[in-house]
Copies of this chain bind each other. A is one copy, B any other.
Amino acid sequence: MTITEFQKLIEATYFTRDSARGRERTFMWFVEEVGELARALARTPEDGGRNLREEFADVLAWLATLASLSGVSLEEAALEKYRNGCPRCGGKPCSC
């Protein structure tokens, strides 16, 4: 699945609600998910890693919705900066 397809899937699922909530409050929900990811990373998985995968998925989903609320294409932004490897040294791998 492309990054854009995922962003559009999240838009189709949540854009109306997230748009009504507003970008600032949506950012706060995003940060809550970052906290849940921290918790999952800090603990020893007891479920085969399912919760950890869910938390990664959630952070990605909330990042996608924030991008949509900002009129930003995550995929275009990602390619613009990282397409050729490290944006500082141009290396892949980075040799900064």
Tier of interface size on chain A: 35 or more
Per DSSP, are chain A's interface residues mostly helix, strand or loop, or mixed? helix
Asked if A23 contacts B1 (CB within 8 A), the reply is no
Q: A46 near B: Cβ within 8 Å? A: no
Asked if A41 contacts B57 (CB within 8 A), the reply is no
Asked if A41 contacts B23 (CB within 8 A), the reply is yes
Interface residues of A in 65-96 (CB under 8 A from B): 66-67, 70-72, 74-83, 85-86, 91-94
Which chain A residues have a beta carbon within 8 Å of chain B's beta carbons? 1-3, 6, 9-10, 12-17, 23-24, 27, 31, 34, 37-38, 41, 49, 52-54, 56-61, 63, 66-67, 70-72, 74-83, 85-86, 91-94
